[in-house]
Amino acid sequence: MSGHSQTRILATVNRGSAAEGGLTITEFSERYFLPFIKAKRSASTHKFYEDLFENHFRDRVGDVRLRDFTTRDAQEVLDANSSTLTHSSIMRIKTGLSAMFSHAIRLGFVLGT
């Protein structure tokens, strides 16, 4: 193994990112987050998160890996909608992102700060 490859692998380990941190936002949402919401929350809450994902997350950040997602990515999602949605709708998108990443942290897929 080359020194560069080893350094990259160790950086991931040192960052504390679990193997599941390599899941994309789409994979995580479909396998873990949305099923969790469906099992633990009302049907309307599940629909809310499902719609948020389909309408605001999938096309913009769906291919981003959990461990690579940054606050800049989150801001881009919010900014992309700021000219067409109300402030309260933007806050709902922010709430959805927060809930999704809080769940990833609870599962140990990414580290919280």
Q: Please give the model's pTM, rounded to 2 decimal places.
A: 0.79
According to DSSP, the residues that pair with 24 across neighbouring strands are 65
**Which residues of the chain are under the pLDDT cut of 50?**
5-6, 8-16
Q: Which domains does the chain have, with CATH numbers?
A: 3-106 (1.10.150)
What pLDDT score does 95 carry?
Answer: 95
Angle, helices 71-81/87-106, rounded to nearest 10 degrees: 150
What pLDDT score does 1 carry?
Answer: 52
What pLDDT score does 24 carry?
Answer: 95
| Euclidean distance between CA atoms 53 and 22, whole angstroms | 19
Instruction: Give the contacts of 102 (CB within 8 A, at least 6 positions apart).
Output: 112
